[in-house]
A and B are shown apart, each in its own frame.
Chain A
Amino acid sequence: MSAAVSPGRAMTGKSGRSGSKPKRHYGTHIFLTAMAVMWLIPLVWAVFTALRPIASTNEHGYFSLAGDFNFDNFIQAWSQGGFAKYLWNSVIICVPAVLLVLFFASMMAFAVSRVSWKFNVTLLIMFTAGNLLPPQVLAAPLFEMAKHFQVPYSFSDSGNMLNTYIIVIAVNMAFQMGFCTFVLSNYMKALSADLTEAALVDGAGIWRQYREIIMPLCRPAFAALATLEVIFIYNDFFWPLLFIQSGDRLPVTTAINNLQGEFLNNYNLLAAGAVITVIPTLIVYLLLQRQFVAGLTLGSSKG
């Protein structure tokens, strides 16, 4: 896949073509502007609704500019809607899942790309294919496995793995691992063999080759994948829906679905909740845009 994104070219875009005078593309601009406006309308509408107290919209209607604009809905969603809790739950799930997935995927990728071994391709196929399955295919057995896996009540109040963060983290990790392994193994394959050969001559074992030579060189790939995985797992709706039954343990992406029922007839509050849910992804995107986009284009096997 990385072959598709031929490295050298990406840079030539600006300098290479600047010789010719820029043409004027009026038609293109009109079309793109129209599309961009259509693209933004749902988002702008959500923000607009969120900024208006329900009292103003009840009085003036949703389609008006009259009345107050303030952050009351956000404050209410944060304090009464429990968004502080839901966002924290998202953190509890996201951080360990991303760290574990990168840790395991990097080891696996190292083994299949830097060491010649009979089952390399077979294993890589298994990992890649697993990532492409629809999650619903695995839902029933995973749910029953979690339900029938007995643990002490001191460990989980359900007496099994349901309703715990651990099962959500584990399944998210397993599901994302194929993708990360695929991307990292492509990256590691492109690193010169001389690097590890030289280390071998110096008597470095496998672990040192992995830890001290390959890992530091993969930093750009890790940055891209970490950014991407944070967003993927933060955005994951399905696994918490399947495994977590107590509403107050849900991460924010899944919890917002419940709020739809709770905030019935208060669309302003629902809109504020939606906007709050967008904010973390927006921050990640603005800070780490390059990494995020690089990750998506390189690992375009992701569905």
Chain B
Amino acid sequence: MSATARDLVPPESRAPSGAPAKQVRSGKVRRLSKRDKAVLSLMVGIPTLIQLVFIWLPTVMSVGLSFTRWNGLALGDIRPAGADNYQYISQDYPPFWPAIQHNMLWLAFLALVATPLGLLLAVLLDQQIRGSRIYQSIFFTPVMLSLALIGIIWQLFYQRDNGLLNFLLGTSGTQQAVDWFGDSSINIWAAMIAATWRHAGYVMLLYLAGLKGVDPSLKEAAAIDGANAAQTFFRVVFPAMRPINIVIVVITIIESLRAFDVVYVINRGTNGLELLSALVIQNLVGEGQVIGVGSALAVVLLVISLVPIVFYVSRTFGKEKRS
């Protein structure tokens, strides 16, 4: 489970390990025939067109629709609405602010509980302990499951009358039995724990790969300088994993904005489980489609998502652009 990253390095570049990919890039294909140019434009053109039509055009249309009033029926019925939809969601739409709070809570929980837990598991499993692989496989299992399925599996665990948790707590069948997914004051916490189940395993996997990539001589040097285990980790090893850390930060933020499946499976994102993504969908499907309102919510989600996306993209491609 651990020695896999190696496989994904092309054979040629493997031998002088760590040969920078940049060197290679300078090799250009100089002489392009007409036919080559035609082939290339198809190779670039078709995927780009798909990307534009299915991803970026809808993104722009979301922004456009958010300034209109429309029931989703005839295209001719689209009416300009100015900023009315934004005014409506921020002032007269009760679930909006709870959803913003829940999204922030979700992010805080993943960032402060799930991600550190994943890191802790990775650090513990990175020592050569017996059964490391078995532990890894166990923690990794939920990563393969869809979040929708995780909602179902935890539903079985959380139910009020027949769920295992209330039985273990000894409250099953009594007045004190908690309806973990039904009680609006705690269901967000129950849902976040279910999401942690998956997120921590994912973070563990990435950090295990990251830890293997840290040069052991760094640790040895720190040990010689008299650093203890904690100092070595926080001052030497953790900073050395900077690229992975950035990826984890981005993944954590994006996951918290994308959280949708779990709450939708539980109760469609109502009654204590309002999230921006779920509100978007509530306004689009079913009766009384209010496309403008749904789009305004989608734009709020888009603007927030652009923060981690721009951060990540500028980190990843910044150097290449300069060179």
Interface of A toward B, CB cutoff 8 Å? 1-14, 16-18, 22-23, 25, 28-29, 31-32, 35-36, 39-43, 45-46, 49, 57, 62-63, 104-105, 107-108, 110-116, 121, 123-130, 132-145, 147-148, 170-171, 173-175, 177-178, 181, 186-197, 200, 205-207, 209-210, 217-218, 220-221, 224, 231, 234-238, 241-242, 253-254, 256-257, 260, 267, 270-271, 273-274, 277-278, 281-282, 284-285, 289-298, 300-303
B121 close to A141 (CB less than 8 A): no
A residues within 8 A CB of B260? 134-136, 237-238
- Count of interface residues, chain B, beta-carbon cutoff 8 Å: 131
- For the complex, what is the distance from the CA of A104 to the CA of B50, rounded to whole Å? 9
Which residue in A49, A111, A136, A147 is a CB contact (below 8 Å) of B298? A136
B213 close to A293 (CB less than 8 A): no
B28 close to A116 (CB less than 8 A): yes
B154 close to A289 (CB less than 8 A): no
B residues within 8 A CB of A189? 21, 24-25
- For the complex, what is the distance from the CA of A170 to the CA of B58, rounded to whole Å? 14
B residues within 8 A CB of A205? 33, 35-36, 39
If A25-B127, A132-B308 touch, does A140 touch B54 (CB 8 Å cutoff)?
no
Leading 3 A-B pairs by shortest Cβ distance: A193-B27, A174-B54, A235-B146
B residues within 8 A CB of A32? 121, 124-125, 129, 135
If A7-B14, A136-B280, A297-B205 touch, does A126 touch B56 (CB 8 Å cutoff)?
yes
B209 close to A13 (CB less than 8 A): no
If A174-B51, A274-B153, A274-B156 touch, does A139 touch B280 (CB 8 Å cutoff)?
yes
B142 at the interface (CB under 8 A from A): yes
B316 close to A300 (CB less than 8 A): no
- For the complex, what is the distance from the CA of A194 to the CA of B26, rounded to whole Å? 11
- For the complex, what is the distance from the CA of A35 to the CA of B145, rounded to whole Å? 19
- Residues 268 to 302 of chain B near chain A (Cβ within 8 Å): 276-277, 280-281, 284-285, 291, 294-295, 298-299, 301-302
Mostly helix, strand, loop or mixed at chain A's interface? helix
B26 to A: closest C-beta gap in Å: 7
B62 at the interface (CB under 8 A from A): yes
A residues within 8 A CB of B141? 39, 43
A301 close to B301 (CB less than 8 A): no
B residues within 8 A CB of A18? 128
Name A142's closest neighbour in chain B (CB-CB): B58
B residues within 8 A CB of A238? 260-261
B236 to A: closest C-beta gap in Å: 15
- For the complex, what is the distance from the CA of A115 to the CA of B305, rounded to whole Å? 32
B56 close to A130 (CB less than 8 A): yes
- For the complex, what is the distance from the CA of A235 to the CA of B258, rounded to whole Å? 14
Among B36, B215, B294, chain A packs the most CB atoms within 10 A around the CB of B36
- Residues 173 to 229 of chain B near chain A (Cβ within 8 Å): 197, 201-202, 205-206, 209-210, 212-216
If A4-B241, A28-B127 touch, does A10 touch B213 (CB 8 Å cutoff)?
yes
B247 at the interface (CB under 8 A from A): yes
B119 to A: closest C-beta gap in Å: 13
B146 close to A290 (CB less than 8 A): no
B residues within 8 A CB of A303? 250-251, 254-255, 258
- For the complex, what is the distance from the CA of A173 to the CA of B50, rounded to whole Å? 9
